[in-house]
Amino acid sequence: MQHFLDIHTTDPAALRAMIDSARAMKDARGGRPRGATDDEQPLAGRMVALIFEKPSTRTRVSFDVGVRQMGGQTMVLSGREMQLGHGETIADTARVLSRYVDLIMIRTYEEATLQEMAEHATVPVINGLTNRTHPCQIMADVMTYEEHRGPIRGRKVVWSGDGNNVCASFLHAAGQFGFDFTFTGPEPLDPERGWLEFARAQGVDARIERDPFKAVAGADLVVTDTWVSMHDPESAKERRHNQLRGYQVNAALMAGANPDALFMHCLPAHREDEVTSAVMDGPASVVFEEAENRLHAQKAIMRWCLGV
C-alpha cells in the first residue's frame, strides 16, 4: 500500500514513473471523448472515496472523471456529510472507510487531518490539497512543462506572489525533479524556510529575490496563484492586494524572462489582479493544458497507489 501525501516524501523515481505513466495514458486516449473509457480498465471493480472538506471544481471533476475513465466508481463526500473529527474521530472514519472503498482522496484544511487519515487507513490515501501543500497540482505542472519544453531538470522556475501551499509543493518538486526555483514576493508571504532548505539539500538553487524583474531574468517558467484564497476574510483582501500589487505577472514581467518561457496558474485566476488577461491568453500561457493535465497526472497517481 502506497500513500501519495506529498512530493517531498515520495521517491523521485516513483514521481518520474508517474509523470511518464500520465503522458502515456494521455497519448493512448488519442483525442477520444472525455466520457469514453480507457482501453485499459485498471480500476474496474474499484471504489474510490473523494472527500471534500474544502469546495472544489478542478480537483473534484478531474478525480471523478479519471476514476470513471479507468473503469472505477466514485463516492463523493462533503465535509458537512462527514463531520470529520467531530461526530467521529478521523482515525475511526479512516478505519470504517477502509472497509468500504479501495482508495481515499481527501481535500482538507489541516495537514494533521490528512496525516491522521493516512495513519489509520488500510487503503491508500491521496492528498488532494491541504492548507500547507498541493502535490497533485504540481505533478500536472511538471507534466505540462515537459510536454512543451522537454525535461524540467536544470531549468529555472520563478514563483511570483504568495508563498502558499502550491508554492510549497513547487519547492518540493524542485528538489525531487532537479530544477532551480526562485520565489519573489513580500517578506510576510515567504514560503516556509524548511521548504527552501529541503530543495537546497537536494542540490538545487532555491532562493528568494524581492525584485520581481531581477527574479525572472533567465526564467524558463513563471508561475503565480490567486492573491486571496476563497476562505480568506474580507478584511484580508485589501491588505493582500496592497502587498502583492508589485508582483503581478504582466507583459512587462514576462518580457524579462527567457523568450520561450511559459506561464502557469493553477486556477481559478482573478484576471487583472495576480495576472493580466494579456498574459493569461497570450502565447506563453499553458494554463488550460495545465488544468487538463490534472486529470492525467491524477490517474497515474491513483494507479501508482494501487499498484495497477
Q: Decide if 60 is catalytic.
A: no
Q: Decide if 271 is catalytic.
A: no
* Dist. CA 98–CA 196, nearest whole Å: 35
Place of cell 490515501: 125
CB atoms under 10 Å from CB of 11, counted, come to 10
From the candidates 3, 294, 296, 303, give the one annotated as an active-site residue: 294
Q: Decide if 34 is catalytic.
A: no
Taking the alpha carbons of 284, 287, 289, 290 in that order, is the dihedral positive or negative?
Answer: positive
Q: Decide if 205 is catalytic.
A: no
From the candidates 46, 69, 102, 137, give the one annotated as an active-site residue: 137
From the candidates 46, 60, 225, 265, give the one annotated as an active-site residue: 225
* The three grid cell numbers given for residue 77, joined into one nine-digit string: 463526500
CB atoms under 10 Å from CB of 277, counted, come to 12
Best CA proximity match to 15, nearest among 200, 169, 119: 169
Q: Decide if 134 is catalytic.
A: yes
From the candidates 60, 107, 120, 296, give the one annotated as an active-site residue: 107
Judge contact between 166 and 131, C-beta under 8 A: no
Please give the DSSP secondary-structure letter assigned to residue 156.
Answer: E
From the candidates 141, 176, 248, 266, give the one annotated as an active-site residue: 266
* Dist. CA 225–CA 244, nearest whole Å: 11
From the candidates 134, 155, 265, 296, give the one annotated as an active-site residue: 134
Active site residues: 107, 134, 137, 225, 266, 294
